[in-house]
Amino acid sequence: MLSQIPIALRSVVIRPMTRADRNVRRLMAFTALFGVVNGGVITFLPVLLARLGAPVVVISLLTSLPALLTIGIALPAGAIVARWRDMTRSSALCFYALRLAYPPIALAMLLDPAIAPYLIVMIWALTSIPGTLGNTAFYDVLADAVPPQRRAIINGVRWALLGMVSAASVSSFGQLLVRLAWPANYLTLFGICFVAGLTSTLAYSRLEVPLREPQSPPRERTTLRKRLSALSHPLRAGTGFGAYSVITFAMRLGLFLPAGIFSVFLVRQLQVSDAWIGGRTTLEHSALTLGYFFWGRMAGRMGQARMLGIAVTAIGVAFLLMANATVNTLWLVLVAALITGFFASALDVSLFEWLLEVMPQGERPRYVAMNTLLMNLVAFAVPIAGAALAERTSISLVLQLAGGCLFGSALLTYLLTRPRRRARHIMPDTMQAQPLELVLEIEQI
């Protein structure tokens, strides 16, 4: 399966001629370089806080505080992005601003450990402002950069490339952190990721996307009731976005509940080194890469809802395995990493394509803004709740509860998509929605 990557890349790397070919080449460069950032800063920043002795609740704020700021700007971001004429240039400026936060974070870690974690969290939280604006536009940019008939295979290769580069990067960074002394190890990591992030954004900024006719803001004054009704319209529009939101809400409860404590779980409870963490993450990203090939092929046969149900069930099992891991049974964490990586790719494929399927083409920024708001409501409150619960009980209990939420999401997927599946069976082929093309949500650019 891995042999498909050079074959798929050959036609777009060697003498690209068309606009679509040039865009694909730049998307691949953007993705590969972001894989370095993903394997560096994004993976090891919570580990850095744990090494600095930050309280569990402070580490959870690394997720929760950016989410709080995103809640405040998510809906306005949709309106702002809708007025952009050059989507690529404007969103690239946002991503440049995001990367400029890396040097201040690197300098902040040199301060007194009683102060450094709080300052790092504050700087990281501020990146959510340009990040939200950029990510809101990213859906439109990606949809316009590559023709629909090529989008599925290009996205599959792009995500697989991200997994491979992230796996190699996180392994290399893990060894670097062990071999170099403090603070040179983390300063080097941030320096490499800063250069890779800027270069990645440069490749993204060169995507050739048609200019848009910006939407003018409404001039008439409306009542608060009408504004609230307009904001909640995506949930009531009958496009399937409402069911999608309920299902992903339960899923996000499970994914975000242990988000603020996982690094603490590895560093303090399991007492593993940065090199071991790097090896575990490399294993997870390797499984992620293989998963993209498998789930990319299965998506058309299974459908997004069924794939999501299988994925959240498997990741729930992985959380239960981690909940039972100890210093003497670290192999459980490695098995869980393989399961999580392989099925996280199914989450990426199903969530991204399902979201694009339930968004009307002319209203994407509005729907993306609502999805971002709903996600960050969970991302703000739930990691803090998970950290507080872990301090009162145990991390293992939090992992078990997270697994239960994921099982609940699988059940909701089955119950809420049954009418939709039945309708598809009787719907003419010409009327069925065509699959289009995530982010980690959490994660993402």
pLDDT given for residue 143 in this prediction: 74
pLDDT given for residue 149 in this prediction: 67
pLDDT given for residue 105 in this prediction: 92
Q: What is the pLDDT of residues 201-237, one digit of tens each?
A: 999 888 887 877 765 555 555 554 555 455 556 665 5
pLDDT given for residue 418 in this prediction: 65
CA–CA dist 34, 36 (Å, integer) = 5
**Would the pLDDT of 423 be above 80?**
no
Does 319 fall in a domain? yes
Mean local confidence (pLDDT), 424-434? 33
What does pTM read for this prediction? Answer: 0.67
Does 215 fall in a domain? no
Tell me, what CATH number does 37's domain have?
1.20.1250.20
Q: Between 439 and 435, whose confidence is greater? A: 439
Sign of CA pseudo-dihedral 196, 199, 205, 207: negative
- CA within 13 Å, CB half, 37: 23
Q: Which residue, chain included where needed, has tokens 């899923």?
A: 251
- Give buried/exposed letters for 370-397 (b at 16+ CB in 10 A, else e): bbbbbbbbbbbbbbbbbbebbeeeebbe
Which one of 109-123, 227-241, 424-438 scores highest in mean pLDDT? 109-123
pLDDT given for residue 142 in this prediction: 78
Mean local confidence (pLDDT), 364-392? 81
Does 1 fall in a domain? no
User: Residue 156 — φ and ψ, nearest 5°?
Assistant: -60, -45
User: Residue 440 — φ and ψ, nearest 5°?
Assistant: 5, 45
Does 218 fall in a domain? no
Give me the DSSP letters along 59-97. HHHHHHHHHHHHHHHHHHHHHHHHT-S-HHHHHHHHHHH
Could you tell me the CA-to-CA distances from 83 to 87, 136, 207, 215, 329 in Å, in that order?
Answer: 9, 12, 19, 5, 54
Does 346 fall in a domain? yes
Query: Which of the 8 DSSP states describes residue 261?
Result: T
pLDDT band at 96 (very low <50, low <70, confident <90, very high): very high
Residue type present at position 426: I
Residue 261's domain comprises 18-209+234-426
Beta-bridge partners for 19? none
**Would the pLDDT of 314 be above 90?**
yes
Of the candidates 276, 208, 178, 281, the one whose C-alpha atom is nearest the C-alpha of residue 26 is 208
Does 380 fall in a domain? yes
pLDDT given for residue 438 in this prediction: 31
* Residue 382, phi-psi category: left (phi > 0), alpha (psi -120 to 50), beta (remainder): alpha
Q: Between 148 and 326, whose confidence is greater? A: 326
Q: Tokens for 296, please give them.
A: 């990319």
Does 226 fall in a domain? no
CB 305 within 8 A of CB 354: yes
Q: What is the pLDDT of residues 74-87, one digit of tens each?
A: 777 777 877 788 88
Does 311 fall in a domain? yes
Q: What is the pLDDT of residues 396-408, one digit of tens each?
A: 899 999 999 999 9
Number of domains in the chain: 1
